[in-house]
Amino acid sequence: MKYLIFFLLMTSAFGMNAQEIVFKVEVSSDSVLLGNTFEVRFTIENAGGDFDAPDFDGFDIVSGPNTSSSFSMVNGNVTQKASYAYRLRPVREGKLYIQPATFKTKNNTLETEPLIVFVHPNPDGVIEHDGFDSQEDAFPDFRQSRPRKAADPLKEKRRKI
């Protein structure tokens, strides 16, 4: 009898810790100038399975998929998260659509909402930087500093004499 009570308590405790599954899509900007890039990020929370990206019709894939994942267990509460990011460049002006991505879990298939990205003409060829376009800007102080030679204490003494 006490084993049955223990089993019921453990089952209900794990059931209360179950986290909601969330599958979402975000863009760094929903309005861009032609020739510029933006980031689209698909994030799945509290589920494992297989990610299937959309075709990205109307866009060139500049980078991606860039993936990241995290897992956390705090006081028995388990959360996990995986992200799939793409850097895209639109190939034409107008209203372009990012079609839904799918994520297949053991029990079902999840789908993101489609997104609209407005691509505006860029007659002056303006290139906007949102901080993610180039690794060159990531560590400017590191690249500009040059290794210095160690000071020679004898050389300093000779100069003073």
Secondary structure (3-state) at 154: helix
- Please indicate, yes or no, if residue 53 is contained in any of the structural domains: yes
Q: How confident is the model at residue 18, as a pLDDT?
A: 57
Distance between CA atoms of residues 133 and 126, nearest Å:
14
Q: How confident is the model at residue 84, as a pLDDT?
A: 96
In total, the chain counts a number of residues equal to 161
Q: How confident is the model at residue 78, as a pLDDT?
A: 87
- Please indicate, yes or no, if residue 22 is contained in any of the structural domains: yes
Beta strands in the chain (DSSP E): 22-27, 31-33, 38-45, 50-52, 59-74, 77-90, 94-98, 102-104, 109-111, 115-120
- Please indicate, yes or no, if residue 5 is contained in any of the structural domains: no
What does the buried/exposed string (b/e) look like for 5-26 if buried means 16 or more CB atoms within 10 Å of the residue's CB?
eeeeeeeeeeeeeeeeeebebe
- Please indicate, yes or no, if residue 114 is contained in any of the structural domains: yes
Distance between CA atoms of residues 59 and 5, nearest Å:
58
pTM value > 0.85: no
Q: Judge whether 99 and 111 are in contact, CB under 8 Å.
A: no
Q: Judge whether 69 and 78 are in contact, CB under 8 Å.
A: no
Q: Provide the number of structural domains found in the chain.
A: 1
Q: How confident is the model at residue 125, as a pLDDT?
A: 83
Q: How confident is the model at residue 59, as a pLDDT?
A: 96
The CATH code of the domain that includes 30 is 2.60.40.10
> Residue 106 has which token pair?
């053991």
Q: How confident is the model at residue 123, as a pLDDT?
A: 86
- Please indicate, yes or no, if residue 21 is contained in any of the structural domains: yes
> Residue 77 has which token pair?
């509460």
- Please indicate, yes or no, if residue 128 is contained in any of the structural domains: no
CA-derived radius of gyration, the chain = 26
pLDDT in tens, the chain (161 residues): 443 333 333 433 444 445 788 999 999 999 999 999 999 999 999 988 899 999 999 999 999 899 999 999 899 888 899 999 999 999 999 999 999 999 999 889 999 999 999 999 988 888 887 655 444 444 455 445 555 555 555 655 555 55
Distance between CA atoms of residues 68 and 62, nearest Å:
18
Domain holding 45, by residue range, is 17-122
- Please indicate, yes or no, if residue 141 is contained in any of the structural domains: no
- Please indicate, yes or no, if residue 76 is contained in any of the structural domains: yes
